[in-house]
Amino acid sequence: MQSIEDVRSLIKGSERVVLKAVAIEDKYEVISEMVHRFNYLSLDRKEKHIIFSALKLFTGYKRSQLHHLVERALLGKLSQKPYHRKNAYHKYSTFDIGLLEKTDELHYRMSGAATHEILRREYEVFHHKQYENVSHVSVSHINNLRGEERYKAKYLSHTQARLVPIGETAKPETNGDPGSIRIDTVHQSDVYHINSVDEITQWEIAICVPHISEAYLYPVLKLLLAQYPFRIFNFHSDRGAEFINKLVAQLLNKLLIHQTKSRSKHCNDNALIEGKNGSVIRKNLGYFHINQGLSGEYNDFFTEWFNPYLNYHRPCGYVTETTTDYKGREKKIYGEYTTPYEKLKSISHEKNTSFLKPNFTFAEMDKIAYNMSDNEYASLMRKQQYRLFDINNLLKSTVV
DSSP states of 96-119: HHHHHHHHHHHHT---HHHHHHHH
Instruction: Determine the Cα–Cα distance for residues 378 and 226; give it in Å rounded to an integer.
Output: 24
**270 residue type, one letter:** N
What percentage of the chain reaches a pLDDT higher than 70? 92
pLDDT classification of 164: cutoffs 50, 70, 90: low
Give the largest Cα separation in the chain, rounded: 103
What is the b/e burial string over 203-222, where b = at least 16 CB atoms within 10 angstroms of the residue's CB?
Answer: bbbbbbbbebeeebbeebbe
pLDDT tens string 34-88? 888 888 888 888 888 888 888 888 888 888 888 888 888 888 777 777 766 665 5
Bridge partner list, 356: 230
What percentage of the chain reaches a pLDDT higher than 90? 39
Counting other chains too, the contacts that 12-15 makes at CB distance below 8 Å and 24 or more residues apart are 14/57
pLDDT tens string 278-315? 999 999 998 888 888 888 899 999 999 999 999 999 99
pLDDT value for 81: 75
pLDDT value for 310: 93
Give this prediction's pTM: 0.61
Interhelix angle 63-75/24-37, rounded to 10 degrees, is 70
- Top-ranked range on mean pLDDT: pick from 29-38, 102-111, 157-166, 224-233: 224-233
pLDDT classification of 155: cutoffs 50, 70, 90: low
Q: What is the mean pLDDT of the chain?
A: 86
Q: Which has the closest alpha carbon to 279: 385, 181, 186?
A: 186
pLDDT at 158 over 90: no
Does 25 or 205 have the greater pLDDT score? 205
The domains of the chain are located at: 4-75, 96-152, 180-399
Q: Which CATH superfamily is domain 180-399 in?
A: Ribonuclease H-like superfamily/Ribonuclease H (3.30.420.10)
